[in-house]
Amino acid sequence: MEYESDKVALEAAGHLFKKIGNHDPKTIAKVLSNGKSHPLIKLESKDLGDEGLIPISMAFKQDAAVTSLDLSSNKITHAGVTELCKSLESNQFLLYLKLDNNDFGDQGVVPICQLLKSKKCVLRSLYLSDCGITSKGVALLADAISSNHSLETLHLNSNRIGNDGAIVLSKLVVPTTKFKNLSLFCCSIGDPGANAFLSILEKPDFEKYPLITLNLKGNKIANLEKINKIMVNKKTAIKNHKLKMEAQKLINEEAEKVIQLRMISVHEEVERKIKDIDQEHKKKYEERIKDIDQENKKKLDEKIKDISHESQKKLNEKLKTIEKNEESRNSEFGERLKEFEKSRKSSDKSSNGSSSSSKNSLSNNKKKKKYSDSIIIVIAGDKAKDKEVLIDYCMSALEDCKIEAENDFEKIFTGIIKIDDKPIHFTFVNTSSDDRYSRLRALQYEQADAAVIAFTTFDRVSFEDIPFQWIPEIQFMGKIPIFISGMYPEKRSNPPKSTDITEKEGRENSLKFGASNYFEPVGSDDIKDYIDMFGFVIPGRPAQNQVQTIAPNKFLFQIDNAADINNFAIFLTVDCPIGQNAAIYLSWAPYQNWSYLGYLNSKKPSEIFTLLHEGDKTQILGNRTDSVQIGINIETDQEVESKAKTGQYTDNMIFRSVDFKQFAFKMCHNLVNYILSFQGSNGAPNNMVPTNTIDKWYENFQKKIQKDVIFWKEN
């Protein structure tokens, strides 16, 4: 067997094969399948036959790591060759295969050709000497080799292929193939077959052909010596070319060394000269710089002296101006302070009857609200752009919108939104996100009825800042309703990215953060719905949305200090399902009787209710307690309609429940006092009272009730 890497001839290759010994095929197959590499395996003359080749073929099918395999003289037929070639189609290790002296004939060449045509075939050398192959089998081999890109060596010694086979094989000698070695010893080839090879060998460009070895010994050929001479000359030329290349390589290496040494010498000389030049230039530059520095220093000292003198003069003048301004301001402040003290004393004397209104005024002299139903809403959040867009929506939705103040830390604007034809005045305050103004923001939170936190729906960081910064900052100044507004919902990705906040996630997490509700406006038309989210609003008080859930369909608002409340508004925070309504009820302490007020639904999302109707005072009002409860019950359309038909609907007129025990006592006490006033009058005996006395008392009592429904509580 011949190897290109070490130029070992076939005759000397046999001793390189490792002998396994006299073991049965199954044991041999087991050794081949153990995963270890076996470069050279020699199994010649083991009498394996087709049956013994089966386990060995299976081992190669499992990628046995064998580089060279010798199966010569093992009585292998075409059936065994077929089984072996099938297993080698997927093997990536076998490079050299020797099947000499196995009489499988042209029929066995067929599976070998299929193996050579396989794209996974990696065979480099194939030895088929004395295998009963004819020109027919050679034709099949030539066709397979022409499409193969790995085979370099083919031995067909002692096969009677004749001139026809030689002519076919000569066509493989082309410059585009890898085919290098061909041995046709004793193959019954004559001059016609040899001349086919000679015509190619005599071509002027044959030196460029890859064929190196052509063995035609043992054949009756007249021009055999000429053919051998051409092949020897080519080998000599190749050898000389290699020697020339090696010599040129050595020359180049030596020249490179000489050049490197020369370059080092030149480099050192250049560096030395540069160093000398640098030293000389450095000395000159240092002297020049020293002269320039001294000159500049002198000029600079003079300039500084002039500037210092001028600056000192201007500074003194500035200080004098500041002192004068300070004295003027102190004087003005003292006068204002005296005026304030005088006005405060006079205000204290005249404010006994109006203390409740002064308590409701803002501590920072904020402008008085234009309407009694006024609500202050503070807008906060990370990004100024989010708040600006929300403000644009709000200003477009407001009637009579006015900008009251605008500076670095806040923007205040006011306006009206009509709810059921009743004007409600809103004041919006946009706060700065800058931490420098955190204390100013705190003052706004303290005066607000509610707060709105805006964030970007495709920026998770701005949303995660809400529970860490904004909600704690707002709640620190008091418990007011907080609403979260997601801006730019139309710019969310579809499907959502990891940085996006979906509407469901925003709503669920907002409730977890402690917010009252969540909203995503996309225009000014959504702002009225947005404002309707504030739940329960009493003029002059912070908006309230701390609802208690009594049952899945029952909710309750608690209102303290309610004796002086005249009206209130209730807003739906979410849409009611179709066919359902939010029925509103009221009860005064001790919460024994409930009055039906009305209902809300998707078509009627808000309502303003009056606690005391000024045009109807014939009703007897009982104890004006300080606590009231507003109940909300989810009811069907039929239930709401039945209340309207039975007269339970009071047209928004609420009458407080009467403490009848106290009223009866007061009424009887008033009657007795009235009767006793007639005792002994007009000369009548002490035990005699005129019969019309009770009629007069009743008429007087009715007049007092009509004039003041709670006059009886004052005595």
Per-residue pLDDT of 516-568, as tens digits, reads 778 888 877 777 655 544 466 676 676 665 566 554 466 777 777 776 777 77
For the beta carbon of residue 270, count every other beta carbon within 10 angstroms: 10
Angle between helices 224-350 and 191-201 (to 10 degrees): 50
Q: Alpha carbon of 12 to those of 1, 6, 16: distances in Å?
A: 7, 12, 8
Q: How far apart are CA 595 and CA 617, in angstroms?
A: 18
Stretch among 327-341, 497-511, 593-607 having the lowest mean pLDDT: 327-341
Listed in order, strand segments (DSSP E) in 204-269 are 213-215
Q: Which of 14-18, 102-106, 477-481, 711-715 has the highest mean pLDDT?
A: 102-106
For the beta carbon of residue 41, count every other beta carbon within 10 angstroms: 21
Residue 379 pLDDT > 80, yes or no? Answer: yes
Pairing relationship of beta strands 422-431 and 213-215 according to DSSP bridges: unpaired
Q: How far apart are CA 520 and CA 489, in angstroms?
A: 7
Peptide bond into 495 cis (omega under 30): yes
Q: What is the pLDDT of residue 550?
A: 56
Token duo for residue 564: 């002086």
Residue 162 pLDDT > 60, yes or no? Answer: yes
Cβ-based burial of 484 (10 A; exposed 0-12, middle 13-18, buried ≥19)? buried
Instruction: Enumerate the β-bridge partners of residue 61.
Output: none
Residue (of 566, 556, 579) closest to 635 by Cα position: 579
Q: How far apart are CA 649 and CA 641, in angstroms?
A: 10
Stretch among 115-129, 269-283, 433-447, 601-615 having the lowest mean pLDDT: 601-615
Token duo for residue 520: 């995503």
Q: Are 609 and 569 in contact (CB under 8 A)?
A: yes
Q: Are 558 and 545 in contact (CB under 8 A)?
A: no
Confidence band, pLDDT 50/70/90 cuts, at residue 687: low
Degrees, nearest 5: CA angle 541-544-550: 145
Instruction: Enumerate the β-bridge partners of residue 38.
Output: 66
Token duo for residue 562: 């309610």
Residue 423 pLDDT > 80, yes or no? Answer: no
Amino acid type, 418? K
Q: What is the pLDDT of residue 443?
A: 79
Q: How far apart are CA 87 and CA 89, in angstroms?
A: 6
Residue 102 pLDDT > 70, yes or no? Answer: yes
Higher per-residue confidence, 334 vs 160: 160
Instruction: Enumerate the β-bridge partners of residue 339.
Output: none
Amino acid type, 149? H
Q: How far apart are CA 51 and CA 386, in angstroms?
A: 84
Average pLDDT for residues 225-241, to the nearest whole number? 87
Q: Order the strands of the 410-419 sheet from edge to edge.
A: 399-406, 410-419, 422-431, 374-381, 450-456, 482-487, 517-519
**Helix spans in 18-63 (H):** 25-32, 49-61
Q: What sign does the CA torsion over 165, 170, 176, 182 have?
A: positive
Token duo for residue 145: 């080799």
Residue (of 642, 656, 664) closest to 613 by Cα position: 656
Token duo for residue 255: 């020249």
Average pLDDT for residues 15-19, to the nearest whole number? 40
Q: What is the pLDDT of residue 436?
A: 78
Token duo for residue 5: 């890497």
Q: Alpha carbon of 240 to those of 232, 233, 236, 245: distances in Å?
A: 12, 10, 6, 8
Q: What is the pLDDT of residue 646?
A: 66
Q: Which helix (H) or strand (E) covers residue 83, if one does?
A: helix 78-88
Q: How far apart are CA 458 and CA 463, in angstroms?
A: 9
CA 677 to chain CA centroid, nearest Å: 88
DSSP 8-class letter at 468: I
Which residue's structure tokens are 């095929």?
25
Residue 329 pLDDT > 60, yes or no? Answer: no
- Domains contained in the chain, CATH given: 10-222 (3.80.10.10), 374-531 (3.40.50.300), 548-645 (2.60.120), 660-713 (no CATH)
Q: Alpha carbon of 360 to those of 363, 368, 429, 539: distances in Å?
A: 9, 10, 19, 11
For the beta carbon of residue 319, count every other beta carbon within 10 angstroms: 10
Residue (of 44, 106, 46, 114) closest to 84 by Cα position: 114
Average pLDDT for residues 464-487, to the nearest whole number? 85
Q: How far apart are CA 635 and CA 641, in angstroms?
A: 10
- Cβ neighbours of residue 102 under 8 Å, at least 6 residues apart? 71, 72, 73, 74, 75, 76, 77, 80, 81, 108, 131
Token duo for residue 509: 């997490």
Stretch among 155-169, 351-365, 575-589 having the lowest mean pLDDT: 351-365
Q: How far apart are CA 677 and CA 665, in angstroms?
A: 18
- Cβ neighbours of residue 61 under 8 Å, at least 6 residues apart? 86, 87, 90, 91
Mean pLDDT of the chain: 77
**Percentage of the chain surpassing pLDDT 90?**
19
Q: Which helix (H) or strand (E) covers residue 557, if one does?
A: strand 554-560
Higher per-residue confidence, 70 vs 543: 70
Q: Which helix (H) or strand (E) covers residue 350, if one does?
A: helix 224-350
Peptide bond into 39 cis (omega under 30): no
Residue 590 pLDDT > 50, yes or no? Answer: yes
Q: What is the pLDDT of residue 552?
A: 45
Q: What sign does the CA torsion over 70, 74, 78, 84 have?
A: negative
